[in-house]
Amino acid sequence: MAEYIPLLMFLVVCLVLMAGYPVALSLSGTALIFAFAGYATGHFDMSFLQALPNRLFGTVKNTTLIAVPLFVFMGVMLEKSRLSEDLLESMADLFSGFRSGLGISVVLVGALLAASTGIVGATVVTMGLMSLPTMLKRGYSSSQATGIICATGTLGQIIPPSIALVLLGDILSSAYQQAQLNMGIFTPKVVSIGDLFVGAIIPGLILVVLYSAYVIFFAKPQLQASQPQPDAEQSPATNKLSRAMRNLLPPIFLIAAVLGSILTGAATPTEAAGVGAFGATLLAIFKRQLSLARLREVAQSTTEVTSMVFLILIGAAIFSLVFRGFGGEELVEHFFSELPGGVLSATILVMVVIFLLGFVLDFIEITFVVVPIVGPVLLAMGLDPVWLGIMIAINLQTSFLTPPFGFALFYLRGVAPASVETADMYRGVVPFIIIQLFLMLMLSLWPALATWLPSVIYN
């Protein structure tokens, strides 16, 4: 029974997390309790924990992870500078001639916010506060409005620059090198965050197009809801376009600068994150939305999020060491190799497990705990690391939408009016869940949707 201790350890940490205890302390505390119990019973060698200082020092030296606070700063600064409100107003005005114009505007603005902030919770809450009352007022049903907002809010998982892709890229890079070393390849290839960013562009655009198509054909308001207000009707089309471009071009230029510098090789993801943070600050200054108090608020929010991420990373490092010390890696590898169907069955199983864990764990915990365990094994079985990273990101995005535990639903429930029933929200997200599952099927049948663009750009 001793060989099943890693499985028991994983189940215990999931139960502790579901009980509501802090993630980082749950990971490290559970691991240390199992380590001491295993040492006392002769099943664990405490020398494994001697590698912890080197692990933590490697984390401190990892310049790639500096991108995390910089991208968080960029997202929070754009959120506080009223950029999203101006964008939604001008886009809704521009599409006011279409019956589904407001819904299209929410999808496009949500995609831009996702690319600007990369934080799911912030995008869902922001779009919920701004657009939900307007959508309900203009004839959208509660299910239609909440479904569109939740779905577009989760685009921050897949559209670069995404915090989820930054963390996934770093973890998959280590997992890919470990998989190759285990296979006897001592000059391993590398995969970078930039690869994941580029690989996510086509799937992200496909999602935006599919969302927009659904809104146009199936999510029409009951009234002529997208008709503009009287003052907007009197505005010439040139004025609408001018206003839209004035609010649209700065964030597009900022996103293009961040992604363009990565795609062209002019900057690493960390350097590009610095460009994004500086550019977001300039936008706030030009919009006259930056004060000392607001800058202090942005810095405090950035520090809180960054501290949470790195504390979880420390807890995950302790958990990973103890898990390996109990032979967990060999257990997972043996289990996958015994599955009928080989790599296909193993991949489907991992995706199902990650999908279910997404109900109770955030993407940070799943990235730091689950991916290091299953990643090396799957990559050693021949999966492409970029394809695997994109599939995991979309899988988590789908999990965050799925009732009854989807995180996006909880975020929107917190800011939605009491007149919007939770059952309406559940019904509203179902079509978008189907769209995301369809995209995962497309990626399974045509992996080049994720791998072609990185191979063209970086080769």
> Using one digit for the tens of pLDDT, what is the confidence trace for 377-394?
888 888 889 999 999 999
Whether 42 is covered by a domain: the verdict is no
pLDDT recorded at residue 225: 42
Whether 46 is covered by a domain: the verdict is no
Distance CA 214, CA 211 (A): 5
Mean pLDDT by 10 residues, the chain (459 residues): 80 80 84 90 83 80 81 81 74 74 84 70 75 83 89 84 83 84 75 86 92 87 52 58 76 82 81 88 85 89 85 84 82 78 86 81 78 85 89 88 78 81 88 93 93 84
What pTM was computed for the model? 0.82
pLDDT recorded at residue 163: 79
Distance CA 114, CA 130 (A): 15
Whether 53 is covered by a domain: the verdict is no
Whether 195 is covered by a domain: the verdict is yes
Whether 398 is covered by a domain: the verdict is yes
Write out the residue range of the structural domain in which residue 385 sits: 63-458
| Total domain count, the chain | 1
pLDDT recorded at residue 448: 92
Whether 358 is covered by a domain: the verdict is yes
Whether 17 is covered by a domain: the verdict is no
Using an 8 Å Cβ cutoff, are 190 and 173 in contact? yes
pLDDT recorded at residue 438: 94
Whether 309 is covered by a domain: the verdict is yes
Tokens representing 183 are 């296979």
pLDDT recorded at residue 136: 86
pLDDT recorded at residue 119: 63
